[in-house]
Amino acid sequence: MRCLRATSFLLLILAGSASTAWANKVTKLDLLEPSPLTVKVKSVSGEMYDLVSNTDPLEFYLSADCRFDKKAGFQEHELNELRFSTGALNTDLVSPNLQAKKLGYWLRTPLDHKKFVLKTKYRAGPGSSQFTDPIKACNDELARRFFNNPNTSREAILAKGFDLKVPDGGQLKVTLTCNPVVKAGFSDFGDRTKSFDLEIKCLPSAAAKAKLVGGETVEIKSFNVVRPKANAKCPAKVSFKASITSQAQVSGHAWLEYLPAGPGSPPAGVGKKVQWSMKKAGQATSSFEQPWNPDSGKWIKGKTRLVVSWKDSRGKTWTEKSAPVSFERRCTATGGALAQAPKIDGGTVQIKNFAVQKKKAAIKCPGKVAFRATITSKEKTSGQVWLETVPKTGRPHPVRGGKKRPWSMKKPGQATSTLEQPWDPSEKGEWIAGRTRLVVSWKDAKGNTYAARSRPVDFTRQCTKTFQFAPTRR
């Protein structure tokens, strides 16, 4: 009896082995030629890369074959299932069941070098270790470029963007299941994994461009002289036009630089600095003028360039220089002689008279003390005027609460003006003495400053008392 039982058990094992031999088989599965995958990363903050904006489709070729070894030869079947997976990517073919016709992926076996195009979307999470993090790759390269070129700001690098290539940056896995009938032992699996390259586009950042203030922020697009060759009544001015672009809101100074250009040309130097600003990124056109008054009536050459300066967020000053432009001017003669520049010096302007309108008066304080001044000038000139207090001891100083004000003479001659000095001493009801003088300043063509001071004038003022009555109670 024991022998019969052993024999029966052996027969059962053999029967099970025969069933297994009939199982479906994956006889062929080749994953071929995955193309590089393009991933686009952008910077929303303008400070670092922080978002994957797009991933392109992933293309590859597949050859596969499922066969059922039931009788002599191989019998082909149509009931198969393909699964696609890749770390950190979602695809539009996640576990498609190829038995369902409505999905549109009915595949006959064998499958011979068929092209697949998978739509992809980046996601971080499980399986991402098999996929290079594109955001981290962009930020690592950003840090490397900034370290190698510290004179270029991060904003400048982000504003331009850059591309990266990562060999074998991702992996694609394809799994084929042969399962024509739902029955134990009738299934077979096969899978293949292939690496593909990543092409990461770290996109230019508009937010960084808006913040950009650095050595690459400002560019002089053009700088030209209005008339390259011309006659001029001297003293004259040479006009220039400049076009300046900026990648961000910025402000600074601009000036002309004079370069040697030959006999009689102005000596090397710089013109007056003027302020300039760009309220927003873009392009603006500006005009500049160079004084011109050589001593000769011959054709004189000049060479000039424009310089623009600005500061970045760290306080560092940057400059941009244009290419030099050349020109020629000839000063024409006037009245048989060459027009001469007006001679302005320390004796050009004089204060003919300065007097207080009332030497002694009672006024309501705070009040003002009025003066009359007459000024003469031998030439057209301009400058500033102000009042100074002259104490009995110590040095004169500008009157308290007073301000400097501009003045000008359009032509040689004389002009009379009224000036006022604030008056509000702490002692009320007492007669207070004052002594004041007038100061006038002006400049010549080279920027030298001259000044004239009047004799001090004396006066007395009394601040009248004011009374406040208490409100009547009702």
Please check whether residue 442 lies inside any domain of the structure: yes
Contact 317, 309 (CB under 8 A): yes
Residues near 30 by Cβ (< 8 Å), separated by ≥ 6? 62, 63, 64, 192
3 inside domain: no
Regarding whether 176 and 47 lie in a shared domain, the answer is yes
The per-residue pLDDT for 53 is: 87
Question: Which of 276, 309, 338 marks a domain boundary?
Answer: 338
**In the prediction, which pLDDT does 127 show?**
53
Cβ contacts of 114 within 8 Å, gap of 6 or more: 61, 62, 63, 107
Q: Is the pLDDT of residue 213 over 80?
A: no
Q: What is the pLDDT of residue 390?
A: 94
- 263's tokens: 């006999």
pLDDT on residue 453? 94
Number of domains in the chain: 3
Name the residue with higher pLDDT: 101 or 260.
260
| Residues 283, 395 share a domain | no
Confidence of residue 431 (pLDDT cuts 50, 70, 90): very high
Question: HSE-up of 165 (CA within 13 Å, CB side)?
Answer: 3
pLDDT at 105 over 60: no
- Between CA 431 and CA 102 the distance in angstroms is 109
pLDDT band at 102 (very low <50, low <70, confident <90, very high): very low
Query: Tens digits of per-residue pLDDT, 246-259?
Result: 877 888 999 999 99
Q: Which domain holds residue 287?
A: 213-338
**Domain end call among 193, 209, 225:** 209
Is 85 in the same domain as 158? yes
User: Can you give the pLDDT at residue 103?
Assistant: 37
Q: Is 319 found in the same domain as 190?
A: no
Q: Are residues 35 and 103 in the same domain?
A: yes
Same domain membership, residue 198 and residue 65: yes
pLDDT at 463: 92
In a domain, 185, yes or no: yes
What is the mean pLDDT of the segment spanning 70-76? 50
First-to-last C-alpha distance (Å) of the chain:
134
pLDDT at 349: 94
Whether 446 shows a pLDDT value over 90: the answer reads: no
Of 163, 190, 209, which marks where a domain is finished?
A: 209
SS3 label, residue 204: coil
* pLDDT at residue number 466: 54
CA–centroid distance for 31 within its chain: 47
Q: Is residue 470 part of a domain?
A: no
- Residue 125: is its pLDDT beyond 80? no
> Residues for the chain: how many in total?
474
Does the model's pTM come out above 0.85?
A: no
Same domain? For 186 and 242 the reply is no
Confidence of residue 83 (pLDDT cuts 50, 70, 90): confident
Strands (DSSP E) found in 203-316 = 218-225, 229-232, 236-246, 250-259, 269-270, 274-278, 282-292, 300-311
- pLDDT tens track for 155-180: 788 888 999 999 988 888 888 877 65
Both 159 and 219 in one domain: the answer is: no
Closest Cα partner for 171 from 112, 107, 110, 91? 91
| Per-position b or e across 134-171, b if 16+ CB within 10 A of its CB | bbebbbebbeeebeeeeeebbbbbbbbbeebebeebbb
130 and 41 share one domain: yes
Asked whether residue 468 is assigned to any structural domain, the reply reads: no
pLDDT tier, 19 (very low <50, low <70, confident <90, very high otherwise): very low
Instruction: Give the CATH number, domain containing residue 435.
Output: 2.60.40.10
Considering the domain architecture, whether residues 319 and 368 belong to the same structural domain is answered as no
Confidence band (pLDDT; 50, 70, 90) for 61?
A: confident
The whole-number average pLDDT for the span 138-157 is 85
Kindly state whether residue 9 falls inside one of the protein's structural domains.
no
343 occurs within a structural domain: no
* Nearest partner of 157 among 200, 221, 198, 211, judged by Cα: 211
Helix, strand, coil percentages for the chain (3-state, nearest 5): 10, 50, 40
Assess whether 49 and 196 both reside in one domain. Answer: yes
**291: buried, middle or exposed (CB in 10 Å: 19+, 13-18, 0-12)?**
middle
Which DSSP string corresponds to 78-132? S-EEEEEEETTEEES-SS-BTT-GGGT----SSEEEEEEEE-EEE--STTGGGS-
* pLDDT over 90 at 359, yes or no: yes
Highest mean pLDDT among 192-201, 229-238, 368-377: 368-377
Mean pLDDT across the chain: 80
Per the model's pLDDT, the better-predicted residue between 18 and 350 turns out to be 350
Looking at the domain assignment, is residue 86 inside a domain? yes
Scan for tokens 């030869």, then name that residue: 73
Residue 422 has pLDDT above 70, yes or no: yes
The torsion angles phi and psi of 416, rounded to 5 degrees, stand at: -120, 135
| pLDDT the model gives residue 360 | 94
Q: CB atoms < 10 A from the CB of 53, how many? A: 12
**Are 53 and 129 found together in one domain?**
yes
Confidence check: pLDDT of 126 > 50: yes
pLDDT of residue 21: 43
